[in-house]
């Protein structure tokens, strides 16, 4: 009976050092000289204090000599969650930012996305985007692909091979008069969406799941939106789309769906607003629409780089948070020119400060709040916060090992600083060179081990 209290879990790794994460009540919580154990399933088995090493080693059956000790200016933080990124647009990221949204789609996006029927091209682009986002600390990504089922399945395979947690969406669009060869019939879209979902689920990837993806209301008929709402409901799946990105688009939706009270009402009418829905942008949502988001449990993805780069608008995050709507950050490549969530953090802070310049009474976001949006907030927006988002016992160990003074990295540390200052410097100045290791579900995925064929 002496060992009856010992947990049955088997410990794979134990780390000691500084851990920084968010909780429901605290935007930034710092655990100094902490011990964190990861079991063989990649889950956090325990979190304790360094001085409890002997006790914890006896309780969980690991050797104190096997503990990995972080260096003085290193810390662990949760992996970042990109709640909105177009994997298929990565090839032209950093270019083509000279037009407003609707013209931009017709001129650049649709012609490039139509190329993804070529699986070799798709493999090249998707491999690059998964590696780039992982290297930049994105452990979870919510991806838009294209209308091509096989290429979308390939994106799921590549994310799985490299160990990234991902929601992958085959894009649905049965209305596109500008690039006529890049659209489906309603029946094709419905049938191919069902095939995509069935085949991706059949792969039984542990961390990659399908997400129902109407591109946005202007590129879908009401009939297709209704079908997709039913598919998502019947399969208990996530849903992603766009909403209220720019004024021209909002006006177009009003013309296309005159019977609907608002842009949000269009999606609500077709059962596309659920507690597993994430909508990108939302720059022009009314308070009434935000109330509907809260009531349905639907989430918003704030994509500040894209909002500014395409001159779409500026989302007032404070107002969204005041309405108690779930909110995460997105890079929105390639409307956003950077695939790094660190850029999304910085642009979110910039946007909030611009709103304060325009209205001095605006309550400016703090870097602590935006850190939470990039991690726990993103996992909540994707309804994955039972699995990831912070360091809680039972959750998957999705984490970044950050070295603030990594050789060749862009941060010069002049004096000894406390962990909160180190975090702030990393968020404002750091890049992938400061991210020395990336873990997803306990697996060390960066530095890369190339997947075998």
pLDDT value for 180: 74
Nearest to 342 by CA among 331, 328, 353: 331
Q: Are residues 428 and 343 in the same domain?
A: no
Q: Are residues 45 and 128 in the same domain?
A: no
Q: Does the CA dihedral 84-324-248-255 come out positive or negative?
A: positive
Q: Are residues 338 and 395 in the same domain?
A: no
pLDDT value for 177: 82
Q: Are residues 422 and 290 in the same domain?
A: no
pLDDT value for 225: 98
The verdict on residue 275 lying in a domain is yes
Report the Cα–Cα distance between both ends of the chain, in Å, rounded: 48
Residue 234 phi/psi, 5-degree rounding, is -65, -25
Q: Which DSSP string corresponds to 352-378?
A: HHHHHHH-TTS-PPPHHHHHHIIIIIH
Number of domains observed in the structure of the chain: 2
Q: Give me the residues paired with residue 281 across strands.
A: 243
CATH number of domain containing 73:
2.30.40.10
pLDDT value for 451: 52
CB 77 within 8 A of CB 66: no
CB 85 within 8 A of CB 339: yes
pLDDT value for 4: 41
Q: Are residues 156 and 237 in the same domain?
A: yes
pTM confidence score = 0.97
pLDDT one digit per residue (tens) for the chain, 453 residues: 334 456 788 999 999 999 999 999 999 999 999 999 999 999 999 999 999 999 999 999 999 999 999 999 999 999 999 999 999 999 999 999 999 999 999 999 999 999 999 999 999 999 999 999 999 999 999 999 999 999 999 999 999 999 999 999 999 999 988 777 899 999 999 999 999 999 999 999 999 999 999 999 999 999 999 999 999 999 999 999 999 999 999 999 999 999 999 999 999 999 999 999 999 999 999 999 999 999 999 999 999 999 999 999 999 999 999 999 999 999 999 999 999 999 999 999 999 999 999 999 999 999 999 999 999 999 999 999 999 999 999 999 999 999 999 999 999 999 999 999 999 999 999 999 999 999 999 999 999 976 544
Q: Are residues 124 and 229 in the same domain?
A: yes
Question: Residues for the chain: how many in total?
Answer: 453
Q: Which domain holds residue 230?
A: 80-382
Q: Are residues 232 and 165 in the same domain?
A: yes
The verdict on residue 2 lying in a domain is no
CA distance 70 to 404: 12
């Amino acid at each position: 009976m002496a060992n009856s209290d010992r947990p049955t879990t088997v410990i794979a790794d134990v780390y000691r050092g500084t851990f920084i994460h968010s909780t429901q009540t605290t935007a930034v919580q710092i655990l100094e000289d902490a011990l964190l154990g990861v079991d063989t399933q990649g889950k956090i088995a325990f979190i304790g204090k360094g001085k409890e090493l002997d006790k914890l080693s006896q309780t969980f059956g690991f050797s104190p000599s096997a503990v990995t000790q972080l260096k003085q200016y290193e810390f662990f933080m949760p992996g970042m969650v990109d709640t909105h990124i177009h994997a298929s647009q990565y090839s032209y990221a950093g270019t083509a930012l000279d037009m407003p949204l609707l013209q931009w789609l017709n001129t650049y996006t649709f012609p490039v996305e139509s190329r993804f029927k070529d699986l070799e091209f798709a493999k090249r682009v998707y491999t690059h985007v998964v590696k780039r986002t992982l290297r930049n600390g994105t452990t979870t990504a919510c991806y838009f692909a294209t209308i091509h089922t096989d290429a979308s399945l390939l994106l799921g395979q590549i994310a799985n091979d490299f160990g990234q947690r991902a929601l992958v969406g085959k894009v649905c669009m049965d209305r596109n008069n500008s690039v006529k060869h890049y659209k489906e019939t309603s029946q094709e879209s419905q049938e191919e969406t069902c095939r995509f979902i069935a085949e991706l689920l059949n792969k039984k990837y542990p961390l990659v799941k399908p997400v129902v993806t109407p591109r946005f209301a202007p590129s879908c008929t009401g009939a297709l939106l209704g079908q997709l709402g039913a598919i998502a409901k019947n399969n208990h799946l996530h849903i992603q789309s766009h909403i209220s990105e720019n004024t021209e688009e909002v006006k177009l939706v009003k013309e296309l769906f005159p019977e609907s009270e608002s842009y949000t009402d269009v999606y609500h009418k077709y059962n596309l607003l659920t507690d597993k829905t994430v909508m990108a942008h939302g720059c022009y949502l009314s308070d009434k629409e935000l109330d509907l988001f809260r009531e349905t449990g639907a989430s918003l993805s704030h994509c500040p780089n894209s909002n500014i780069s395409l001159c779409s608008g500026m989302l007032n995050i404070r107002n969204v948070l005041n309405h108690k709507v779930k909110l995460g950050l997105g890079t929105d490549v390639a409307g956003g020119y950077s695939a790094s969530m660190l850029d999304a953090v910085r642009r979110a802070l910039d946007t909030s400060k611009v709103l304060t310049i325009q209205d001095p009474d605006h309550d400016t976001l703090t870097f602590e709040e935006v850190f939470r949006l990039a991690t726990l907030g993103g996992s909540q927006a994707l309804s994955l916060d039972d699995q990831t988002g912070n360091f809680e016992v039972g959750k998957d160990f999705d984490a970044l090992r950050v070295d603030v003074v990594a050789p060749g990295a862009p941060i010069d540390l002049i004096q000894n600083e406390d962990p909160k200052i180190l975090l702030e410097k990393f968020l404002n100045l750091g890049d992938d060179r400061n991210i020395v290791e990336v873990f997803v579900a306990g697996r060390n995925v960066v530095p890369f081990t190339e997947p075998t064929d």
